[in-house]
Amino acid sequence: MEIKIAQDKERWDSFLIQNDGSFLQSWNFGNFQEKEGKKIWRFEFLRKEQKIAQVQIQKEYFPFGKNLFYIGYGPCFDSRIFLKEKKKILILLEKKLKKIARKENVIFLNIEPKDNLPKIKEAKESKRRVQPQKTLILPLKNKKESIFENFHPKTRYNIRLAEKKGVEVQAILGTKEKMNFLENFFSLILKTSKRGKFKIFPKKHYKNLLSLENAILYLARYKEKIIAANIVFYFGEKAYYLHGASDYKYRHLMAPHLLQWKQICDAKERGKKLYDFWGIDEIKWPGITRFKKSFGGEEIIYPKGIDLVFNNFYYSLYCLLKKIF
């Protein structure tokens, strides 16, 4: 088995789509992370010149002038290989990254897998969580009428109410057009974060995300005023609802419910098979979770993250700080 640096975007994304990989491992999302100031590595694993796995790694900054490697919902394996071969791939990856870690001042590798990984003796259960561990995925194979009827009765009522009150939804596709509404989106998400008491990203983050061709900005208007906005990301057969914001002043119009319904309809019309609500947590986000669950779908729980340590002293310090803070 050999490991190579990936060079071909089409080959990379094609392998991901064929093996149900996450958009977090996609080429474009790696480019987005580079715009965010993170260094990216893309490796392919070959057996007799046949690709059997690939992984996209990003370097993230850490206190004390140190760094860490992070893999979000990866690696992506050929669906036909077994755990024994996956373990060989992870061991080979660890050896490769150990060499790079010295140069990049990295103290450990944090992996948040999408699927179960083989047990590795050196691996430690991760103390950090970046991506949601639990999500809700709505299949889009049925007719729209059938999907709609499976929503909670109150959700169906709210969607009809928004339409009756005159709320209109628009999908913004072009990069230039999306940038025209960046300020509107950021203003709304700022209000939403203060109301919900959660952290948001800097404006540049949303700008970089919306600059990707896979990202669509959905706007809900009432009498020409933008009262809600969402960002949806397309990759492969899935649509991912990543960010949402709304104006509390207009909550009686139920615009967020209509937005979700239009996004689901759009995803189905574009040939997507699944709609991912991207993160639920009854304890951390009870209101948001209740809202998302009202649209139905299947609850998915991802495996816990693991850490592969390159510097024991700084990793121990990191674990101690996690306990304190």
pLDDT digits (tens, 9 = 90+) for 1-44: 999 999 999 999 999 999 999 999 999 999 999 999 999 999 99
Average pLDDT value for residue range 223-230? 97
Handedness of CA 302, 303, 304, 306 (dihedral sign): negative
**What's the confidence (pLDDT) of residue 98?**
96
pTM of the predicted protein model: 0.95
> What distances in angstroms separate CA 175 from CA 37, 181, 217, 322, one per listed residue?
21, 10, 10, 39
Q: Which domains does the chain have, with CATH numbers?
A: 2-130+304-324 (3.40.630.30), 134-301 (3.40.630.30)
pLDDT at 195 over 90: no
The rounded percent of the chain whose pLDDT value lies above 70 is 100
Chain centroid to CA 265: 20
Find the DSSP H helices in 105-237: 144-149, 153-164, 175-180, 182-196, 203-210
CA–CA separation, 300 vs 230, rounded Å? 22
Q: What is the mean pLDDT of residues 183-205?
A: 93
Q: Measured between alpha carbons, how far is 304 from 311 in angstroms, rounded to an integer?
A: 22
pLDDT digits (tens, 9 = 90+) for 44-97: 999 999 999 999 999 999 877 899 999 999 999 999 999 999 999 999 999 999
Percent of the chain with pLDDT over 90: 92
Alpha-carbon gap, residue 319 to 251, rounded angstroms: 42
Kindly provide the b/e burial profile for residues 49-68, where b requires at least 16 CB atoms within 10 angstroms of the residue's own CB.
Answer: eebbbbbbbbbbeeeeebbb
Q: How would you classify the pairing of strands 106-112 and 66-72? A: parallel
Radius of gyration of the chain measured on its C-alpha atoms: 21
DSSP 206-265: HHHHHTSTTEEEEEEEETTEEEEEEEEEEETTEEEEEEEEE-GGGGGG-HHHHHHHHHHH
pLDDT per position as a tens digit, 174-188:
999 999 999 999 999
Structure confidence at residue 127 (pLDDT): 87
pLDDT attached to residue 323: 81
Average pLDDT on 286-301 reads 96
